[in-house]
Amino acid sequence: MSILNLIIFAALLFVLFSIYNKTQKLGITVFIALLLGLAGGALLQIFYEKSIIDTTLDWINLVGGGYVRLLQMIVMPLVFISILSAITRLNQVQSLGKISFSVLAILLVTTAIAAAIGIALVYLFDLSAEGLVAGERELAAQARVDGRVGQVSNLSVPAMLVSFIPRNPFAELTGANPTSIISTVIFSAFLGIAALSLGKEDKSLGERIAQGVETLNKLVMRLVRFVIRLTPYGVFALMIKMGATSQWADIVKLGNFIVASYIAIILMFLVHGILLFVVKINPIDYYKKVMPTLSFAFSSRSSAATLPLNIETQTNKLNNNSTIANFSATLGATIGQNGCAGIYPAMLAVMVAPTVGIDPFSFQYILTLILVVTISSFGIAGVGGGATFAAIVVLSSLDLPLALVGLLISVEPLIDMGRTALNVNGSMIAGTISNKLLTKNTSI
Residue 92: count other Cβ atoms within 10 Å of its Cβ.
13
pLDDT at 177 over 80: no
- H/E element holding 411? none
* 252, amino acid identity: V
pLDDT digits (tens, 9 = 90+) for 400-411: 876 666 556 666
pLDDT digits (tens, 9 = 90+) for 58-85: 888 888 888 878 877 887 888 788 778 8
Give the whole-angstrom CA distance, residue 411 versus residue 419: 12
3-state SS assignment for residue 89: coil
DSSP tag of 379:
S
Closest CA to 414 of 312, 298, 331, 324: 298
Contact 42, 243 (CB under 8 A): yes
Q: Is 381 or 2 the better-scoring residue by pLDDT?
A: 2
Give the whole-angstrom CA distance, residue 65 versus residue 55: 15
Contact 138, 409 (CB under 8 A): yes
pLDDT at 384: 43
pLDDT at 406: 59
Q: Is 435 or 169 the better-scoring residue by pLDDT?
A: 435
Contact 30, 16 (CB under 8 A): no
Average pLDDT over residues 354-358: 85
Q: Is 340 or 265 the better-scoring residue by pLDDT?
A: 265
pLDDT digits (tens, 9 = 90+) for 1-51: 678 888 888 898 999 999 888 888 776 887 788 888 888 888 888 887 878
Contact 148, 405 (CB under 8 A): no
3-state SS assignment for residue 141: helix
- pTM, rounded to two decimals: 0.76
CB proximity list for 415: less than 8 A, separation 6 or greater:
258, 261, 262, 344
